[in-house]
Amino acid sequence: MAEPQHVPVLLEESLNFLNVREGGVVVDATLGFGGHSAAIARKLGSAGRLICFDRDEQAMASAKVRLELLAEELGAAMPSVEYVARPFSEIAEVVKPGMLDGLLADFGVSSMQLDEAHRGFSFRADGPLDMRMDPRSELTAEQVVNQADEEDLANLIYEFGEERRSRRIARAIVRARPMTTTAELARVISAVAPPIKGEKIHPATRTFQAIRIRVNDELGEIQSLLRAVSGSAGSLLKPGGRVALISFHSLEDRLVKDSFRESARAGTLEILTKKPIVAKEQEALRNPRSRSAKLRAAERV
């Protein structure tokens, strides 16, 4: 079976800041296709332990293939690997305080989720209004689009999508209900919110982002993870343990930045990245998704 194709974002930079060593215990909180995990596993060695979280069981199945192939290659040098099919907000229920040498999270929606029309994450191909990272979850994009009242929908699009035309878009969505597909929603948005001069993104991009964040409680998930690694009491990191977090939009990055700063003031974390690390020109050309990625890292004091 061929290894799944995937280009992990800011891979070299992530590994450098994590400072992965043989025999360590490291969590990949967002396993995805397993690109970051495979690189971490190479450094952990046979005495190491890698714990992989992902709430998307389909993504986890693909990553397992990748890591099984790596185990065949490395043989006895492969670390132990554990798979946890749960959201990373529940990490403290699995990992004990002071247990980790490192933790990595890549908060972006995966390329597989975007590319598979039936998951309903993107308007590039028509699909159902779903957007669930965990298909077992109850709330779908279709429910948000068709059931939220106009004011709540406008506030959602403004807050989570940072879309200035949120009220106009919300009004159009409510008038066009019911909707069941991504193409329908994208058409309704484009009709009332044409492309902004100088911007290259599709007019529906911010609204789709907002709905996806709401469906998956993405910001709440990040806040839970930050509490688990940054808290003065019961941090999951060992003293000297490191956390590296990759964000893809300003809402995510702001949460990480503010949490790290608060922890630094409290004396529980030392910030390793004065400014966020961004992709080098070569990576940005090779992998356009990396252009919006920002990496921040810190070390437990």
CATH assignment of the domain containing 203 = 1.10.150.170
Mean pLDDT estimate for the chain: 93
Name residue, tokens 């999508």.
Answer: 161
Q: What is the pLDDT at residue 113?
A: 67
Percent of the chain surpassing pLDDT 70: 95
Q: Examine the pLDDT at 230 and tell me if it is beyond 90.
A: no
Spatial separation of the C-alpha atoms in residues 66 and 176, rounded to whole Å = 43
Is residue 16 exposed (0-12), middle (13-18) or buried (19+ Cβ within 10 Å)? middle
Contact 138, 182 (CB under 8 A): no
CB atoms within 10 A of CB 74: 16
Instruction: Tell me what the mean pLDDT of segment 104-112 comes to.
Output: 83
Q: What is the pLDDT of residues 202-214, one digit of tens each?
A: 999 999 999 999 9
**Lowest pLDDT segment from 1-5, 248-252, 293-297:** 1-5
Residue 121 binned pLDDT confidence (cut-offs 50, 70, 90): confident
Tell which of 163, 198, 216 closes a domain.
Answer: 216
Q: Examine the pLDDT at 92 and tell me if it is beyond 90.
A: yes
Instruction: Tell me what the mean pLDDT of segment 263-271 comes to.
Output: 95
For residues 87 and 36, membership in a common domain is answered with yes
The set of residues, in sequence order, having a beta carbon less than 8 Å from that of 269 and lying 6+ positions away, is 230, 243, 260, 263, 298, 299, 300, 301
Question: Would you say residue 1 lies in a domain?
Answer: no
Give me 287's structure tokens.
């992998």
- DSSP of 124-154: SS--BS---SSTT-S--HHHHHHHS-HHHHH
Query: 3-state class of 244 per DSSP?
Result: strand
**What is the extent of the structural domain holding 89?**
11-111+218-300
Regarding pTM above 0.95, the answer is no
Question: Would you say residue 6 lies in a domain?
Answer: no
DSSP 55: S
For residues 229 and 264, membership in a common domain is answered with yes
For residues 196 and 229, membership in a common domain is answered with no
How many domains, the chain? Answer: 2
Q: Is the dihedral of CA 78, 84, 90, 93 positive or negative?
A: negative
